[in-house]
Amino acid sequence: MHRFPTFRSTVALTVFMAMSAFGEPPDTDPYLQTLAETQNFSLGRPIEAMPTADGKSVIFLRSDSPRDRTTGLYRFDVASGQTEQLATPEKLLGNQSGNLSPEEKMRRERTRTKVTGITGFELSEDGDQIAFTLPGALFVYRLGTKSLAKLKTGAGDAIDPTFSPDGRKIAYVRDYNLFVYDLEKDAERPITTGATESHSCGLAEFVAQEEMDRRKGFWWLEDSRTILYQVNDSSRVEVWYVGDPAAPQNPPYPSRYPRPGKENVDVRLAVGNAGGAENASDAMRWIEWDRNKYPYLVHVSPTKFGPLTITVETRDQHELALLEVDLETGATRPLLKEDDPNWVNIDQSVPAWLPSHEFVWTSERNGAWQLELRHPDGSLDKVVVPPEKSLQHFSGVTGSYLFFLAGKNPSESDLWRADPNNTELTRLASGFHDVSLSENGASVLADTARAPDSLAKTFVRRTDGSVLGELPSVAEEPPYFPRIEFTDDSTKFVSSIVRPRNFDGSKKYPVIVDVYAGPGFNRVEKIAEPYLIDQWLADQGYVVVSFDGRGTPGRGRDWERAIYQRFGEIPLADQVSALTDLAAKHAEMDLKRVGVTGWSFGGYMSALAVLRRPDIFKAAVAGAPVSDWLDYDTQYTERYLGLPGDAVYAASSLIGDAPKLSRPLLLIHGTADDNVYFRHTLKLMDALEKAGRSFQFLPIAGSTHMVLDPGLRMQIEKRTVEFFRASL
């Protein structure tokens, strides 16, 4: 789960027009319009930056203007500091934009892709070739010759194109089958045939993409002839259909959606021959492990410096195992295991094998994340980054150094370098960072830095942290930056406060809690982007606050695991405690007028707040809320609530509390949401209606879990303010 952002019945359901492209938005607010059309001033900024293996170039995506969602491919020359445009959709397709396949649409939804055009790329191992797709087409750009070729693939979208290690082939998925394109022969051949929607090859299943952060479903081995690929049997998984009520002429599309306690996709791992076997199915063999005990395939790690390994996990997610694979027999043996009585967190950055044939691993076994160096047999060599350093993310290996992110509290993310030979730790940059490294040892890093008074900037750094250049941006800058006050209480909660720009310290202001409060995500971060809309909201006459309570990452194992089987209790209790503590220090906060708003888990929390604590929360705007955890996906829900069968799910559901509603509630949901299905809001509405409770409802016709249309985004914010004005 990730944070994003009618009619009258017999129970006095307030009439709201469904938001769609049917009409023009009225009463345009210039700043709000700019915020929506620039996607929080992000359009025109470099994204997906990646250094080439030789360290001479950084490849990135960017739009040509600050209000254009269509991105093209660019190269930054490290030596000269010059940037050149390599490819754009307009030059390649003209006015023929093309249509995406359902599989590609779903993949982009899982990756939260907010742009169009060239939305991703793949570098060859030597850094000379760049593969990318546009609807129905696969292209390769060669830096050395500055040439661009459209490959002669079959009809349809090539999903996840990936170069072989020698750069002579590209593998990809199309129509549920795995293909390899031989660049020297300029020809395509199938690795699998006959796959279908229910029996697919080479695609990561829904929960792997959405909840494990694993996007790939196939992997090249170092010989460039052998390819591993995932084989999925989803025939026993429930099929849910997503339709668009605003376009009834279009058929609904099916989605395999595994719910708690029900069937998951049956995943196997096959070994295929990409080197020219006459019959691909004859060349296939299986990787074997105890799939009954470990049904989740978490990670696959082919490497030149160590054995092939796979990471697998139990259904209850209490145990995770790293297995070494014998390619000759397909047998596996354990290298190490992690276990936890609540759940084991997944880290897709490890294992990372080093030229010394040791590997990097991360673990929470000592109470917080630590970065370890392990021998080839899995035994511990040394702890490189101890738990007290507050490790947040292992970024990767470049040369002889390990790079990672850590902060003194979860709202900060400093860039660090570690030398595994002597465990020397060096902070390279303070603030909030996100770093990309070439997998093949480039001498430079691409570092996207953010701050409360500066939007995202991407710097090219040496491995010692010194800056070589900055990727150029054409984005608009905001007319003003949000005025944020952060509190860093190491013993309780971190919080943020945004006040009106014309703040009067002698006045009392109604309070809006901008909430997420769910696992895996921190709402309070020392960056400007999430507070741009909070400042606009504050300028309407509110004090806007956010808190990160127990269950959020970055404060140690016990802090995060406190929410286990207690979704309906701990997060809400911490929001109330943090709110009252903050108000005791800030007299301008009027606790008699408190509203709450959030999306996804934040939408769930908003509805929960007015249902269970109406004494504190006087109104709520709940966007895309999970109303019943029995209707969310297996991997996320069972991780935190366990398997269904006792009172835990009922205690975390909104449905049973519907008769308690006594405060104004506005529900907002996209009708085509395939993450938190529209069913959730309909189910809650039904319970509220049957209980005779009044509420307001704003359906967003045809929208998924992400609302990208600028007009719709503006209207959601304006309706939110109108609702709070009337309710507080």
Residues 515-541 have pLDDT tens digits of 999 999 999 999 999 999 999 999 999
- pLDDT score for 408: 87
Residue 100, pLDDT > 90, answer no
Asked if 148 and 90 touch (Cβ cutoff 8 Å), the reply is no
Contact between 88 and 653 (Cβ < 8 Å): no
Q: What per-residue confidence (pLDDT) applies to 10?
A: 29
pLDDT at 15: 37
Tokens standing for 123?
């570098």
Chain center to CA of 719: 27
Closest C-alpha among 401, 462, 402, 456 to residue 431: 456
pLDDT in tens, 368-406: 999 999 999 999 999 999 999 999 999 999 888 999 999
Structure token digits, residue 584: 């005791």
Q: What is the pLDDT of residue 400?
A: 86
pLDDT band at residue 17, thresholds of 50, 70 and 90? very low
Model pLDDT, residue 5: 43
Q: Where are the domains of the chain?
A: 30-38+478-727, 191-346, 349-442
Separation of alpha carbons 164 and 226, rounded Å? 9
Q: How many CB atoms lie within 10 A of CB 91?
A: 10
Q: Give the position of tokens 């800030």.
A: 586
The backbone torsions φ and ψ at residue 258, rounded to the nearest 5 degrees and listed phi first, read -80, 125
CB 308 within 8 A of CB 359: no
On the question of a cis peptide bond just before residue 351, with omega within 30 degrees of 0, the verdict is yes
Q: Could you say which architecture CATH assigns to the domain 30-38+478-727?
A: 3-Layer(aba) Sandwich (3.40)
Q: What pLDDT was estimated at residue 399?
A: 83
Would you identify the CATH topology of the domain 191-346?
Methanol Dehydrogenase; Chain A (2.140.10)
**Residue 68 is encoded by which pair of tokens?**
């254009």
The model's pLDDT over 139-168, given as tens digits with 9 standing for 90+, comes to 999 999 999 999 999 999 999 999 999 999
pLDDT exceeding 90 applies to what percent of the chain? 84
pLDDT surpasses 60 at 493: yes
Residue 20 — very low, low, confident or very high, per pLDDT cuts 50/70/90?
A: very low
pLDDT at residue 4, rounded to an integer: 44
pLDDT digits (tens, 9 = 90+) for 216-247: 999 999 999 999 999 999 999 999 998 887 78
CA dihedral 172→294→551→416, nearest 10 degrees, is: -60
pLDDT band at 18 (very low <50, low <70, confident <90, very high): very low
User: Across the chain, what does the average pLDDT equal?
Assistant: 92
Q: Name the residue type at position 136.
A: G
534 is written with which tokens? Answer: 């909070």
- Whole-angstrom Cα distance, residue 637 to residue 635? 6
DSSP H or E run through 602: helix 601-612
Q: Indicate whether 14 pLDDT > 50.
A: no
Mean pLDDT check: name the lowest of 10-14, 573-577, 663-667. Answer: 10-14
Q: What was the pLDDT predicted at 23?
A: 35
**Which whole-number Å values give the CA distances from 329 to 223, 271, 287, 324, 325, in the listed order?**
17, 11, 8, 12, 9
pLDDT at res. 554: 94
Q: Is 642 left (phi over 0), alpha (psi -120 to 50) or beta?
A: left
Residue 405, CA distances (Å) to 31, 276, 392, 393 in order:
34, 43, 5, 5
Which pTM was predicted? 0.93
